[in-house]
Amino acid sequence: MTRESSIIELAQWLKSPPGRYLLGWEQVQLDRHVSDLFGFHALQLGLPQLDGLRANRMPHRWVASDSLYMPDPYDLPPVDESISTLAPHAGMALHCDFDALPFPSQSLDLVVLPHALELARDAHDALREVERVLVPEGRVVITGFNPASLWGLRQRFGHLRRGMGLGGKLFLPRAGDFIGYWRLRDWLRLLGFEVERGRFGCWRPPFGSQRWLDRGAWMDDHGERWWPVLGALYCLVAVKRVRGMRLVGLARLQKAPANAPAVVAQPRMHSQADGHDNG
């Protein structure tokens, strides 16, 4: 299965009831996480169906895709009224490889990756490229499928049935490497990132119909409290740290040791001639 067909399959799956359910949760999370991030240049890699930068007010914003396939726009949930940093989205569309971004090193303040690593040719190379283009203290926001969830479990059973020759239809898109949350944290740590926030979501059972998804809505109300790591999706925010950089504060005065000799200024003895002119 080619990458182009994988991207098309994901775009079509997102139109299904479970796809719209997940897409809505991701859009809300991206709005919340990027609204208070400041800078000048922001970039979204992949999944143009989501408007991951609509709640961010950086003046220069781009949406990049490594595929020529342009899906129809989706109906996205409205922006939360509590977010007060909205600006008209004037982002530009780019076509480029995610492991060779057309930006100078340390030139971007924010990079958003909605499912971009799962469909990348090489997730490690794409993440290293993100680290290259981010400025020190720049942020990266990543969303992805959680393999350690009921949705991931159903997907593994589907692959197992196919491997045994029993056939059957997979619940989630076929292609893509679903990267676990803790595995992704390890990758980021090796590249010098520090994870600031992480959150799971979408705890409803993996039903295919809207009717049954609605019946499982009560699980979203209790999932974050009782089984948070079993959410079908995760959203992670990390900051790029640079070694050797530290905040400079006020210098502290060091107290002299108790046994240090004290220096006493001796008064100058003036001679009688010092107060008179010669001659």
Residue-wise pLDDT tens digits, 156-215: 887 787 778 777 777 888 766 789 999 999 999 999 999 999 999 999 999 999 999 999
Instruction: Record the pTM.
Output: 0.81
Using the predicted structure, report yes or no on whether residue 81 has a pLDDT greater than 80: no
Calpha distance 73→55 (Å, rounded): 17
Fold of 3-240: Rossmann fold (3.40.50)
Calpha distance 135→255 (Å, rounded): 39
Cβ contacts of 254-262, under 8 Å, gap ≥ 24 = none
Q: Which of helix, strand or coil describes residue 197? A: strand
- Residue ranges covered by each domain of the chain: 3-240
Strands 193-201 and 233-240: antiparallel
- Give the type of residue at 191: L
Q: Which pLDDT score is estimated for 231?
A: 94
Say which DSSP state 59 is in.
Answer: S
Residue 155 binned pLDDT confidence (cut-offs 50, 70, 90): confident
Alpha-carbon dihedral 42, 47, 48, 53, rounded to 10 degrees: -30
E strand map for the chain: 41-45, 60-65, 92-95, 108-114, 134-145, 193-201, 233-240
Q: Which pLDDT score is estimated for 44?
A: 95
Using the predicted structure, report yes or no on whether residue 261 has a pLDDT greater than 60: no
For the stretch 40-77, pLDDT in tens is: 999 999 888 889 999 998 999 999 988 777 767 677 77
Q: Which pLDDT score is estimated for 221?
A: 86
Q: Which pLDDT score is estimated for 276?
A: 46
27 vs 48, higher pLDDT: 27
> CB–CB of 206/18 below 8 Å?
yes
Residue 80 binned pLDDT confidence (cut-offs 50, 70, 90): confident
Q: How far is CA 24 from the centre of its chain?
A: 17
Q: Which pLDDT score is estimated for 269?
A: 44
- For 129-145, b/e burial (b = at least 16 CB within 10 A) is bbbbbbbeebbbbbbbb
Using the predicted structure, report yes or no on whether residue 263 has a pLDDT greater than 80: no
